[in-house]
Structures are given as structure tokens and as C-alpha cells.
Amino acid sequence: MDRQYVASSNIASIGYDESTQTLEVEFHNGTVYQYYNVPPSMHEQLMSEGSKGRFLNTYIKNAYPYSRV
């Protein structure tokens, strides 16, 4: 999955596959997580937020199933 680098103190890059609704997040420490069943609108909101880490923690982290890649 292609990821886009983002300006964040915690997140290095974010990718999204609309066909599978999979959000992929790479953190600055090198870990990568995939979040499943994330609707396109949630990805769009995340990408437009000033604080991507806060948005991820508030609206995605405990709301969608995920796994470490």
C-alpha cells in the first residue's frame, strides 16, 4: 500500500485502500498498523486534521479492528 508522508509528531505516513477500507499508519518509531473497515469519509477527515495523532487516538484507534503489520 502506498503511504503519504504527513506532518505529525507521532505519525510518519498514512495510506488507505478504499476497495478494502483499510487504513495503514506508520509511526515515527517504525511500527505499522492496519485499521480495518474504516470508511472513506473517516480517512478524508483524518487527512484534513491538523493533529492527525489526536484524531487517530480519538476516532479510529479503539473504534475499528486493527493489527500490527
**Confidence band, pLDDT 50/70/90 cuts, at residue 29:** very high
Q: Note whether 64 and 35 are within 8 A (CB).
A: yes
Q: Give the structural domain span for 36.
A: 3-68
Residue 13: the pLDDT is: 98
User: How many domains are contained in the chain?
Assistant: 1
15-42 burial: b if 16+ Cβ within 10 Å, else e: bbeeeebbbbbbeeeeebbbbeebeeeb
Q: Note whether 12 and 6 are within 8 A (CB).
A: yes
* Helix, strand or coil, per DSSP, at residue 46: helix
Q: Note whether 56 and 46 are within 8 A (CB).
A: yes
**Confidence band, pLDDT 50/70/90 cuts, at residue 44:** very high
